[in-house]
Amino acid sequence: MTKVASSTTASVDAEFYLQADAFFRANLPTALTFDDVSLATLFSDILPKDADTSTQLSDAVRLQIPIVSADMDTVTESQMAISMALNGGLGLIHYNMQPKEQVKEVARVKHHIHGFIQDPITIGPDLSIGDVLEFVEQKRFGFETFPVVDRQNGKLLGLLPGSVVKERYRNKSVVEAMTPRAKLLTVLHTALGNDPIGRADKFFTDNIGINKMLVVDAEDRLKGLVTSSDVERIMNESKSRRKPARDAAFRLLCGAAAAPIRKPDGSLDRDRIVAQIGQLVAETVDCVAVSTAHGHTAGVGDMVRIIRDAFPTLTIIAGNVTSGAGVEYLADCGANAIKVGQGPGSICSTRIVAGVGIPQLSALYVASKGAARKGVRIIADGGITKSGDIVKALTLADAVMCGGLLAGCREAPGEIMEINGKLYKQYRGMGSIAAMKAGSAARYGQDKNDATRKLTAEGIEALKEVSGSIDEVLGNLIGGVQSGMGYLGAKTLADLRAKARYARVSPAGQKEAAPHDVIEVGRKN
């Protein structure tokens, strides 16, 4: 029998451990961050391993874990985004690169593990194997098998197997190297029904040794492709507790930062912005992020409106803000999710340089009120140093964005360097001088090409000790999140937000919260 606390006991608990509205109002005018607060435990009938960490950034973008890797040039490129999605999260590819390179980075993620590929990469019959080799190298594809189609009518002509895409066959033509149409087994797209992966699974079971299912229409035009390896991965995923984050076509989720492109007179260049976002959309990017240090501005609002008008169904993330009014403004402009945080990042100096910014937990509370009024999501961006911070952030936000926690992972961009026997990676704020010169100056309302004034840094350059793989780091972080949910009896993140009770922590309490008064003994793997 479950024991129920007496009314007297419950009233004492309610007096000391407050819900969000009562807690943050009781602490006015002081602004609080993660270490200033602790969460009270509640009766629980769930195990941490059963806690569901999935979340929505929009109706179209669902994550299995509530973690997004930051759109920073020392954090997220394709390798990080692939690993984030495979672990159920989302990577936002930065824009400190040429636009065409950003498009390629997105393409690498979206073409990593496909499932049912509705628009497969094809080649024409007029190429040589050498041409195909150069194509693979140029696009950096992780595959070498290609359907061969007639460029005039789209009809299937054959399949070029990866086994012949070799340097020794460079001078051979695609036509003489391919498996011709007459020898290929295909499936009509009308036979796929509502479960293409299930249909493909049966196809590969019935046809031993075949590892590509080609989908055609009644006119024999190629309509799609499924590989046996992808089907096996997806079928295995259904048995896994943590599933990759995928779109409706089973491709990995991927986001990209959107650069504010301006005309010489300083106004936004709508045509170029739409063209650049259009290229990302053509590669099936799942969301774009309009990221600036100050998101509650006319410029950010106008950029969001431009993107929303041109792409009505695209998920838009915008920020950063620290107020309910800022959230409501960006929501009215068309954003689906709003980033909250000004100055809490480990390499950010905005609060020192500009004297602005709000401690992160108070900022999240205020922003959450605006988000509730507008029906949008918020992302806690910055200040996360440990899994407990993520738990606290998720009592108010729908997801967190991490930079410093992930910058030391092997999947982050940049070379590994050794200093005094330890391995490090470069980590820099997008407001650092080096990052702004590379392209992010507009993020801070500055122009790198303006010779009349110097760039003012709002971030620093630093080193992060190499921390292993993203799989290991995310495993530890999510384990901590699920543990926190277990302490509160929260089956879902919605339960966590509803059940959260807060207490203010003194400096002595902060010290007490971490291991103390001991000499830690341990070994590194």
Residues 413 and 436 in one domain: yes
**pLDDT value at residue 452:** 47
Boundary residue ending a domain (219, 237, 255): 237
Residues 461 and 394 occupy one common structural domain: yes
**89 and 150 assigned to the same domain:** no
Of the two residues 135 and 521, the one the predictor is more confident about is: 135
Residue 290 has pLDDT above 50, yes or no: yes
Same domain, 88 and 133: no
Residues 335 and 451 in one domain: yes
The three-class DSSP label of residue 208 is coil
Has residue 26 been placed in a domain? no
Contacts for 281 with CB less than 8 Å, ≥ 6 apart: 311, 314
CA atoms within 13 A on the CB side of 368: 19
Q: Are residues 363 and 301 in the same domain?
A: yes
82 and 124 share one domain: no
Q: Which residues pair with 348 in a beta bridge?
A: 459
Using only the alpha carbons of the chain, give its radius of gyration: 25
Q: What is the mean pLDDT of residues 359-382?
A: 97
The count of domains in the chain is: 2
The lowest-confidence range among 303-317, 408-422, 500-514 is: 408-422
Residues 304 and 294: their CA atoms lie apart, in Å, by: 14
The answer to whether position 446 is within a domain reads yes
Give pLDDT, residue 141: 78
Give the pTM: 0.76
Instruction: Assign 273 to helix, strand or coil.
Output: helix
Catalytic residue among 348, 402, 409, 428: 348
**Residues 368, 419: one domain?**
yes
Strand partners, 256: 93, 288
Average pLDDT over residues 472-493: 96
Instruction: Judge whether 32 lies within some domain.
Output: no
- Residues 103-153 have pLDDT tens digits of 999 998 997 766 677 778 899 999 999 999 999 888 777 789 999 999 999
**Contact in structure between 63 and 228 (CB atoms under 8 Å):** no
**What is the C-alpha separation between 105 and 279, in angstroms, rounded?**
12
Asked if residue 13 lies in contact with residue 5, where contact means CB atoms within 8 angstroms, the answer is yes
More confident residue, 363 or 6: 363
Q: Does pLDDT of 239 surpass 70?
A: no
Q: With bands split at pLDDT 50, 70 and 90, how would you rate the model's confidence at 199?
A: confident
Note whether residue 7 is domain-resident: no
Is residue 40 in some structural domain? Answer: no
Confidence of residue 391 (pLDDT cuts 50, 70, 90): very high
Q: Any idea what the CATH number is for the domain that residue 133 is in?
A: 3.10.580.10
Tell me whether residue 87 is in a domain.
Answer: yes
278 and 182 in one domain?
Answer: no
Q: Is the pLDDT of residue 237 over 90?
A: no
Domain co-membership, 96 together with 120: no
Cβ-Cβ contacts under 8 Å for 395 (sequence gap 6 or more) = 20, 39, 496, 497, 500, 502
Dmax over CA atoms of the chain, in Å, equals: 86
Residue 4 within a domain = no
Q: What is the pLDDT of residue 116?
A: 72
| Residue 13, domain member (yes or no) | no
**Dihedral sign, CA of 430, 436, 438, 439?**
positive
Residues 66, 179 within the same domain: no
Examine the domain organization and report whether 220 and 272 are in the same domain.
Answer: no
Two tokens, residue 467: 């921390």
Among 9-18, 72-81, 325-334, 417-426, name the one with the lowest average pLDDT: 417-426
Residue 500: per-residue pLDDT: 97
**Average pLDDT for residues 341-366, to the nearest whole number?**
86
How does the average pLDDT of the chain come out, rounded?
Answer: 88
Q: Is 443 labeled as catalytic in the residue annotation?
A: yes
Put residue 209 in one of left, alpha, beta given phi > 0 → left and psi -120 to 50 → alpha.
Answer: left
pLDDT of residue 438: 54
CA 324/CA 374 separation, integer angstroms: 10
Q: Rounded mean pLDDT of 408-435?
A: 74
- 6 pLDDT band, cuts 50/70/90, is low
User: Looking at 5-19, 135-149, 409-423, 448-462, which range is the least confident one?
Assistant: 448-462
**Range 190-218 average pLDDT:** 88
Please tell me the predicted confidence (pLDDT) of residue 415.
Answer: 73
Backbone torsions φ then ψ of 382, nearest 5 degrees: 110, 155
Instruction: Kindly give the interhelix angle for 228-237 and 196-206, rounded to the nearest 10 degrees.
Output: 120
Each residue's pLDDT tens digit, 425-465: 777 665 556 545 555 455 444 454 554 454 555 555 778 78
Residue 451: per-residue pLDDT: 46
pLDDT tens, 344-355? Answer: 877 777 777 888
- Residues of the domain holding 288: 48-113+244-506
Binning pLDDT at 50, 70 and 90, where does residue 100 land? very high
Give the residue-averaged pLDDT of 27-54. 96
Q: Name the residue with higher pLDDT: 4 or 276.
A: 276
CATH of the domain at 486: 3.20.20.70
SS3 readout for 374-428: HCCEEEEECCCCCHHHHHHHHCCCCEEEECHHHHCECCCCCCEEEECCEEEEEEE
Q: Among 207, 237, 267, where does a domain finish?
A: 237
